[in-house]
Amino acid sequence: MHKTISPKYTTDQLNSLLQQVQEFVKTELFPLEKEAFAHDWEKLLPVLDEKRKSVKSNGWWTPQIPEEWGGIGLSVEEHGKLSAVLGQSPYGHYVFNCQAPDAGNMEILIEFGTPEQQEKFLKPLLAGEIRSCFGMTEPEFAGSNPVRMGTLAQLQEEDYVVSGHKWFTSGAHQASFCIVMCLTNPNSENPYGRASQIIIPCDTPGYKHVRRIPVGGDKGYGWASHSEILLENCKVPIGNLLGAEGKGFAIAQTRLGPGRIHHCMRWLGICQRAFDMMVHRAATRKIRENRVLAQQQTIQNWIAECKAEMYAARLMVLDTARKIDQKGAYEAREEISMIKFYCANMLQKVLDFSIQVHGAEGITDDLMLSYWYRHERGARIYDGADEVHKSRVAKLVLKKYGLKI
Amino acid sequence: MHKTISPKYTTDQLNSLLQQVQEFVKTELFPLEKEAFAHDWEKLLPVLDEKRKSVKSNGWWTPQIPEEWGGIGLSVEEHGKLSAVLGQSPYGHYVFNCQAPDAGNMEILIEFGTPEQQEKFLKPLLAGEIRSCFGMTEPEFAGSNPVRMGTLAQLQEEDYVVSGHKWFTSGAHQASFCIVMCLTNPNSENPYGRASQIIIPCDTPGYKHVRRIPVGGDKGYGWASHSEILLENCKVPIGNLLGAEGKGFAIAQTRLGPGRIHHCMRWLGICQRAFDMMVHRAATRKIRENRVLAQQQTIQNWIAECKAEMYAARLMVLDTARKIDQKGAYEAREEISMIKFYCANMLQKVLDFSIQVHGAEGITDDLMLSYWYRHERGARIYDGADEVHKSRVAKLVLKKYGLKI
Amino acid sequence: MHKTISPKYTTDQLNSLLQQVQEFVKTELFPLEKEAFAHDWEKLLPVLDEKRKSVKSNGWWTPQIPEEWGGIGLSVEEHGKLSAVLGQSPYGHYVFNCQAPDAGNMEILIEFGTPEQQEKFLKPLLAGEIRSCFGMTEPEFAGSNPVRMGTLAQLQEEDYVVSGHKWFTSGAHQASFCIVMCLTNPNSENPYGRASQIIIPCDTPGYKHVRRIPVGGDKGYGWASHSEILLENCKVPIGNLLGAEGKGFAIAQTRLGPGRIHHCMRWLGICQRAFDMMVHRAATRKIRENRVLAQQQTIQNWIAECKAEMYAARLMVLDTARKIDQKGAYEAREEISMIKFYCANMLQKVLDFSIQVHGAEGITDDLMLSYWYRHERGARIYDGADEVHKSRVAKLVLKKYGLKI
Amino acid sequence: MHKTISPKYTTDQLNSLLQQVQEFVKTELFPLEKEAFAHDWEKLLPVLDEKRKSVKSNGWWTPQIPEEWGGIGLSVEEHGKLSAVLGQSPYGHYVFNCQAPDAGNMEILIEFGTPEQQEKFLKPLLAGEIRSCFGMTEPEFAGSNPVRMGTLAQLQEEDYVVSGHKWFTSGAHQASFCIVMCLTNPNSENPYGRASQIIIPCDTPGYKHVRRIPVGGDKGYGWASHSEILLENCKVPIGNLLGAEGKGFAIAQTRLGPGRIHHCMRWLGICQRAFDMMVHRAATRKIRENRVLAQQQTIQNWIAECKAEMYAARLMVLDTARKIDQKGAYEAREEISMIKFYCANMLQKVLDFSIQVHGAEGITDDLMLSYWYRHERGARIYDGADEVHKSRVAKLVLKKYGLKI
């Protein structure tokens, strides 16, 4: 049963927080993009870890986590507004320790973890001492069908022995543990009851980090990586099972619904930044004496269209967040699917227009636009491709009209 | 200075009203579309006038008008929600006496009319005894530029003598008076200070109703008409001036901002209806044994895309309405322009998809889809073409970034 | 086996013909649109029949028909070019006696008709003395699945007794005969071998012309109508069977392939006209002193986009026509499906832009744009909805990659 | 005056060439993408230079260059067809020595170079011994306005002294010379007569290769690079002037027209490859037992839409090539602008769909799709942004309708 989540702050308090964080993001994070090390994660990470200290000392650490676990305890709607601020920088969420996939792992460990699991895995994660990953996608099976997978866990006395092949395991590089989706009950009649989630420390014998998969021209590093993982008879104690056997799919749902809205919130931030860059560029780039780009009607069309879609997206995301706060993610699943595909497409459109307004500079890695253009092409694919979400919305709608397909 | 408009009802009260009106629209108005006279306004109007009596007796008459003038006094946001219900029927707004252009004329007569003008023109309008029109658009001048017009009013002693040529004067057929935009101060330095609004009774000598302009295959009739009007030395007393000389443009703005959101609200209703028809059709139309249209993924895409855009549009329209209630239409002008073009395009998209799902039947006049498809092509043109609103939004945005163009 | 069709004319001869017909269409047909009777088919038809006499005396009659049957004998490609000229007027094809569905009926009667059928039905059709229709679509069955239908023909001694319900029978009003698709072998194992085509004179007892279906705001009249037809035990002699029993589907294919390209050709003409109107309007409509619409960059974008898509469409249609001439319609079925949906969408886009450039005038029935906008919404539906053609193209493509679905 | 270019080959001969080259590209070049060094230009270039030897020995070297200069002498249309084959591999054009910008430099050196220039610069270029670049774009000036630039060349006795700042100088890394657009006559009344083209060897003192600009996640290398160049008082002899003083813009036009169609041709090849990958993936990727992706209607829509647009694009590009062959690039400038924006947008669409069909794998650098997605975002920007070409087309169209803007 879903617990209603109440807002943490009054409107004024929240606005004050948002304003401070906006200032922090602008003065502390934006300049990092210009630094020589911007594209060199090895040099960048220690700097980001310095910024994390400031965030902690400002009392902003893990804003989405309940106070009893050391966070601020923001509601989904409040966190949405904050996340839209953080998303303006590619480093915002990491610096606040609310980056994917760790944020999702924190959530399920809080909800389903045993005290031992929480002690061993959750606490250092919350503290930002370690990072984690979530092993779900497999190269041999279509991600659109979550009940098909090849990774198997066999119970051998007090241990699970897990073997399988995962990829697009985000953040796996340098992670300390991986929560692995695997079949424990492959012969269960209910296809949604076959999988479980098992926590596998990354130093487990047989756990092989094959490679960071190069994506969009980047090899990736640390939390900003997507890895291929081979599990060869990884033996972990039975106590590493998360929740109960056969509950893997149900727990994944708990995680994925909010996970999707978190992406949408972050995209709002990216769009805001790309839009700011676009308008600024249009307002200042001369195309001839006494005429700037912004005087071209086509550019005006783009500014207006982006503004309108961002207005739409923000209202929808916050409305959906409110519904999650009040009724839970399950009740909001139609809205979540709608914002997932709507926002992903808006994101791509805003980035595309902003690039076009910047001309050749727009595709250089001198600007963050290129980074987002390359990496957020995945937005229409990860956590459910557009087509999957559209079919899902349609089926929920059709049900109300009496057709169950 | 704008007066804040407060909600009239509690949420529960409003929902109860909306539910009752939804029922009324469904049981009393939808069936009229099927009647033999559906496309024959001459036969239809007396039936609609009967329905008006029910509306009055239910206490729903002129819902948007302040109580002191006999209405319900709904806020813009509340009226938005009601209007989205009424818009599901092409007859909804007329039956509630909140149809364009009369609703707009009521508003400006309440705000700017003299007691004499209110007695003579406003009261019978509110009572539904007469209808009116608003003469703005001229064939020789682009509507995108409201300060250019050819209609002139010359003061001759105690009278204005007005001559000019108007068209797309909606509702002019069988109207009792026309509020005419005309130049009284053509040489004023300020281009926005040249025009005035003058009330011209339609039986004034020289007022010539040239024709109902056939639009979208329909000749039009009564309030559902768009006419060409010739004004040849129409003499009216100086007391027919609305507000002050040179205030024509300012008064038009007062009227046009809310006018646009009223269209958006009505379109939400049309979309809801077209969407209901689409989903119902998809859920029931067999394409072969054991397979209905709704099982085709393309149809599912359309359902989901329409649902998402309708969700977006509704949230934006209501948010804008709230802003108008709180800060006035001027402060909400950027939002008004955004929803104007966003909603008009969404409307066209939803109608298009719904037609496509209906196949050949979708383009017949057996269904209302054809009526809306034909008549609401104008939505992207009237009250400011998309392109005009986009430029306007862009200019308002650019101003915040320091560029004034 | 397909016979190669050779061009009739040298390039110069064809260009000379096209130029003359362009002149004729412009001077003889365009002005009819402005006449008071333009929207009154009853008054218009006698005028058009006068124009037919000129066409005959110019030697242009039934240009697509082989010389031995009294036509010019143009190849499909040549007729495509001519058709793109005729399509600029809504009356062009009728005046040249190559309008749908008569042109298609002529074709199948030439190819499959018995001498008796040709004498009785084909000759007066070629002469323009009568008109005909083709009864395929049924209200109860999805047009996307041509093997499902409800009309049945039972052989009773020397007669077929046909019963069924048709609609969207184009040109049925005032037609002399109808070629009816009906099941003669409903139990045949091959679903494509169940139907036959039977010629039913419209004065056959039991043949009931229920109504002209109002479409796009027009009731329709004569060849410009779409009717609902009821067949109640219509008895016709066995000699009215076209081709052999069970060949209805095969003959329909023969007819539909070229029928689709004929639509595309006509649409090229409509687009050319709408484009001409758009550019002319843009070049002359003032938006303020010293500035016309065409100086707005948005309008320039539309002109360029329309021009490019019309360029694409013309090349594709003519390339497909050439392929039909050389290899037959079956070999060109992938191309035919591609141009069907590509051109229908281009048509809608060009009409939409042209309307938008015309502003309010664009939606009035003063211009032909409104007529096409209303009636050619069907282009994406009739003769196979976009979605059907897209699936068909995809399946033909996939077959080449080894997947047969 | 334009010289008509005749085809080199009969249809059969050309088809035979195309088939052989297709085989070569498939067997010799495709496999390179899979090699470990695929993303390491330093290791890749020597391998490509081996492939160049095979091309030479096959007699395919510099196919677009006249025979008297050692090429095959293909017409623009023939080269278009070949180029669409080569474009399927990112290495195709380099291996045939017809890559940009060298191909363009070869053309203008053949047409405008002095015998000395041809000896020194053209011959080693044709032989593939050196590479070159073309310095046009400047960071401080909008590329959409080619007459504005900051690079100045001052005549000092027998030398030009050139200073300026260029970027997006493609292929500048490791190039031997750069043809630089610069102002020699900055005060000329005719803005199109101010610039000249001057050949600057890259070892000229003051010529500073600042950096390879990282684009789309890649630093670039060799011919696959885009550099920033600083020219600080580069002194070159007057004999390095290409053509006459003030002819820089005219020569650039000569180069840019064909340059654009060459891009379009190459894009056809990329699209063909991306399409092949998409269809193959769709036909083989299982989404559940007994169902592959290609059975999803959305995927079928994409296949059909891509196929139709590729069909359109190919016909337009070849038609334009034919027009260039017959009448020269100036006469075909409207068509060139149309194909430039049409093909660039089609390219982006086909790549986008192909990526989406590949799911997560589509955005990895394991496939070439990611490379093209990242690098061909520039297609809508380089050699004239879409918006510039659209305005240009519109202005050419409007001129025919009597409006000169």
Residue percentage of chain A with pLDDT more than 90: 92
Q: State whether C298 and A301 contact (CB < 8 Å).
A: yes
Cβ within 8 Å, pair A296-C297: yes
Structure tokens at C58: 């110019």
**3-class state of residue C302 by DSSP:** helix
- How many domains are there within chain A? 3
Confidence class for position B19, pLDDT limits 50, 70, 90: very high
Contacts of C115 by beta carbon, 8 Å cutoff, 6+ apart: none
Residues A205 and A258 in one domain: no
Given B297, B305, B338, which is nearest A308 (Cβ)? B338
- Over residues B197-256, the pLDDT tens digits come to 999 999 999 999 999 999 999 999 999 999 999 999 999 999 999 999 999 999 998 888
Tell me the C-alpha to C-alpha distance, in Å, between residue D367 and each of A215, B94, B370, D306, D364.
Answer: 10, 60, 47, 19, 6
Residues of C in contact with A297 (CB under 8 A): 296-298
CATH of the domain at C61: 1.10.540.10
The band of C87, judged by pLDDT with boundaries at 50, 70 and 90, is very high
Helices vs strands, H then E, count in chain C: 13, 10
Nearest CB to C307; choose among D319, D393, D403: D393
CA distance, residue B378 to nearest chain C CA (Å):
7
Structure tokens at A384: 């459910």
Tell me if C85 sits within 8 A of C25, measured CB to CB: yes
E runs forming strands in A157-305? 159-170, 177-183, 195-201, 207-212, 226-237, 241-242, 286-288, 291-292
Burial A299-338 (b: 16+ CB within 10 A, else e): bbbbbbbbbbbbbbbbbbbbbbbbbbbbebbeebbbbbbb
What's the 3-state SS for B105-167? HHHHHHHHCCHHHHHHHHHHHHCCCCCEEEECCCCCCCCCCCCCCCCEEEEECCEEEEEEEEE
> Which CATH number is C375's domain given?
1.20.140.10
| Chain A residues with beta carbon closer than 8 angstroms to that of B342 | 308-309, 312
Instruction: Write down the H helix ranges in A167-247.
Output: none
At residue B26, what is the residue type? K
The tens digit of pLDDT for each residue in B154-202 reads 999 999 999 999 999 999 999 999 999 999 999 999 999 999 999 999 9
Q: Please indicate, yes or no, whether residues C194 and C334 belong to a single structural domain of this protein.
A: no
Whether residue A265 sits in one domain with residue A140: no
How far apart are alpha carbons D9 and C271 in whole angstroms?
A: 37
Asked if A118 and A156 sit in the same domain, the reply is no
CA of A218: which chain D residue's CA is closest? D217
| B284 within domain boundaries | yes
CB within 8 A of C395, min separation 6: which ones?
A: C405, D300
Question: H helices of D285-365, where?
Answer: 297-327, 333-358
Sign for the pseudo-dihedral over CA of B86, B90, B96, B100:
positive
For residues B232 and B292, membership in a common domain is answered with no
Question: Has residue B181 been placed in a domain?
Answer: yes
Residue of higher predicted confidence among B34 and C36? B34
Per-residue b or e along B263-272, where b marks 16 or more CB atoms closer than 10 Å to that residue's CB? bbbbbbbbbb
- Whether A72 is covered by a domain: the verdict is yes
Strand (E) or helix (H) holding A152: strand A152-156
Shortest Cα–Cα distance, C302 to chain A (Å): 11
Identify the pLDDT of residue C143. Answer: 75
Domain boundary among D194, D213, D242: D242
Q: What is the mean pLDDT of residues C272-290?
A: 96
Kindly report each contact of residues B188-194 with a partner whose C-beta sits within 8 Å and lies 24 or more positions away, as own/partner. B188/B246, B191/B147, B192/B147, B192/B249, B192/B250, B193/B246, B193/B249, B194/B147, B194/B246, B194/B248, B194/B249
Q: Distance between CA atoms of C200 and C162, rounded to whole angstroms?
A: 9
In chain C, which residues have their Cβ closer than 8 Å to the Cβ of D392? 304
Q: Where are the alpha helices (DSSP H) in A151-285?
A: 248-284
**pLDDT above 90 (res C289):** no
Is A168 close to D356, i.e. CB distance below 8 A?
no
Strands C177-183 and C195-201: antiparallel
Residue with tokens 């495509």: C80
Give the distance from residue D38's alpha carbon to the nearest chain C alpha carbon, in angstroms: 27
How many beta carbons lie within 10 A of that of residue A221, not counting itself?
A: 15
> For position D293, what pLDDT does the model report?
96
What SS3 string covers B279-343? HHHHHHCEEECCEEHHHCHHHHHHHHHHHHHHHHHHHHHHHHHHHHHHHCCCCCHHHHHHHHHHH
Mutate which of B136, B137, B354, B377 to test chain C, going by most C C-beta atoms within 10 A?
B377
In a domain, C4, yes or no: no
Nearest to B305 among A280, A390, A395 (CB): A390
D313: chain C residues, CB-CB within 8 Å: 312
Q: What is the DSSP string of A19-65?
A: HHHHHHIIIIIHHHHHSGGGG-HHHHHHHHHHHHHHHHHTT-SSTTS
Confidence of residue B36 (pLDDT cuts 50, 70, 90): low
Mean pLDDT of chain B: 95
Nearest residue on chain A to D369, alpha-carbon basis: A216
List, for residues A346-370, the tens digit of each pLDDT value.
Answer: 999 999 999 999 999 999 999 999 9
* Per-residue pLDDT tens digits for C351-360: 999 999 999 9
A121 and A141 share one domain: no
Q: Has residue A306 been placed in a domain?
A: yes
Report which of A87, A77, A106 is spatially closest to residue A4, judged by C-alpha positions: A77
Any idea which residue has 């694409």 for tokens?
C312
B143 falls in which pLDDT band (50, 70, 90)? Answer: confident
Q: Do C302 and C349 share a domain, yes or no?
A: yes
**pLDDT over 90, % of chain C:** 92
Residue of D296, D297, D357 to mutate for B, most B C-beta atoms under 10 A:
D297
- Among candidate residues A134, A300, A138, the one with its CA nearest the CA of residue A223: A134
**pLDDT, averaged across chain A:** 95
Instruction: From B358, D308, B343, select the one nearest C346 (Cα to Cα).
Output: D308
CA-closest candidate to residue D149, choices D134, D164, D160: D164
> For chain D, which ranges sit under pLDDT 70?
1-2, 36-37
| pLDDT over 80 (residue B146) | no
CB nearest to A216's CB, from D287, D370, D386: D370
How far is Cα A301 from Cα B386, in angstroms, rounded to an integer? 9
Residue A181 lies in a domain: yes
Residue B295, domain member (yes or no): yes
C-alpha closest to that of C134 among C107, C95, C161, C97: C107
CA distance linking residue D123 with residue D130, whole number of Å: 9
Cα separation, A215 vs D135, in Å, equals: 31
- Please tell me the predicted confidence (pLDDT) of residue A366: 94
**C-beta neighbour count of A18 within 10 angstroms:** 16
- CB burial of D202-225 (b: ≥16 within 10 Å; e: otherwise) equals bebeebebeebbbbbbbbbebbbb
Binary contact (B386, C218; C-beta < 8 A): no
Same domain flag for C145 and C120? no
Q: What is the phi/psi pair of residue D228, to 5°?
A: -105, 130
User: Is the domain of B63 the same as that of B103?
Assistant: yes
Pick from C308, C315, C398: which is nearest to D319 by CB? C315
Rg over alpha carbons for chain A, rounded to the nearest Å, is 22
- Comparing A40 with C99, the larger pLDDT belongs to C99
Note whether residue B44 is domain-resident.
yes
Chains touching C by CB (3 or more pairs below 8 Å): A, B, D
Cβ atoms of C122 and C176 closer than 8 Å: no
* Residue C36 confidence class, pLDDT cut points 50, 70, 90: low
- Cα–Cα distance measured from residue A83 to residue A67, given in angstroms and rounded to the nearest whole number: 18
The C-alpha atoms of residue B340 and residue B267 are separated, in whole angstroms, by: 10
Share of chain A above pLDDT 70, in %: 99
Query: B: neighbours with 3+ CB pairs under 8 Å?
Result: A, C, D
**What digits encode the pLDDT tens for the residues B362-398?**
999 999 999 999 999 999 999 999 999 999 999 999 9
In whole angstroms, what is the distance from residue A314 CA to residue A339 CA? Answer: 9
* Chain D nearest CA to C114, separation (Å): 39
D366-399: per-residue pLDDT in tens?
999 999 999 999 999 999 999 999 999 999 999 9
Give the C-side interface with D, CB within 8 Å: 279-280, 282-284, 292, 294-295, 297, 299-301, 303-305, 307-309, 311-313, 315-316, 319, 334-335, 337-339, 341-342, 387, 389-395, 397-398, 401-403, 405
C-alpha to C-alpha distance for B315 and A309, rounded to whole angstroms: 12
Angstrom CA distances, C75 to C97, C232, C258, C272, C318, stand at 16, 40, 12, 22, 11
Tell me the shortest Cα–Cα distance from B25 to chain C, in angstroms: 24
CA distances from B136 to B172, B259, B381, C363 (A): 12, 14, 14, 18
The two three-digit tokens of residue A229, written as one number: 């993982």
Domain containing residue B162: CATH number: 2.40.110.10
ipTM of the complex: 0.96
Q: Mind giving me the DSSP string for B59-112? A: T-SSTTS-GGGTS----HHHHHHHHHHHTTSTTHHHHTT--TTHHHHHHHHHHH
**pLDDT confidence of residue D96:** 98
The total of other beta-carbon atoms located within 10 Å of residue D36's CB is 7
Q: Are residues B65 and B36 located together in one domain of the fold?
A: yes
Last residue of a domain, one of B219, B242, B265: B242
**Helix (H), strand (E) at residue A320:** helix A297-327
pLDDT, mean of residues B121-133 = 98
- First and final CA of chain B: distance in angstroms? 26
Same domain flag for B220 and B96: no
Residue A329's pLDDT band, with cuts at 50, 70 and 90, is: very high
Q: Using 50, 70 and 90 to split pLDDT, how confident is the model at B87? A: very high
Of D301, D312, D390, the CB nearest to C300: D390
Q: Check B304 against A391: CB less than 8 A apart.
A: yes
> From B275, which residue of chain A is nearest by alpha-carbon distance?
A397
Q: Both D315 and D214 in a single domain? A: no
Residue B78 CA to residue D340 CA, distance in Å, equals 51
- Domain of B77? 11-126
Query: Cβ–Cβ of A338/B304 closer than 8 Å?
Result: yes
Q: Assess whether pLDDT exceeds 80 at residue B291.
A: yes
End-to-end CA distance of chain D: 26
Q: Token pair for residue A53?
A: 């200290």
- Pull the structure tokens for residue B286: 């067999």
Cβ–Cβ < 8 Å for C331, C265: no
- DSSP code of B364? B
pLDDT for the residue numbered D360: 93
Contact call for residues C234 and C207 (beta carbons, < 8 A): yes
Residue after which a domain boundary falls, among B77, B102, B126 = B126
Look at residues C255, C296, D288, A118 and name the one whose alpha carbon lies nearest to residue B390.
Answer: C296
Beta carbons of B78 and B7 less than 8 angstroms apart: yes
Residue to test with chain D: of A37, A225, A364, A383, most D Cβ within 10 A: A364
Q: How far is A355 from chain D (nearest CA, A)?
A: 9
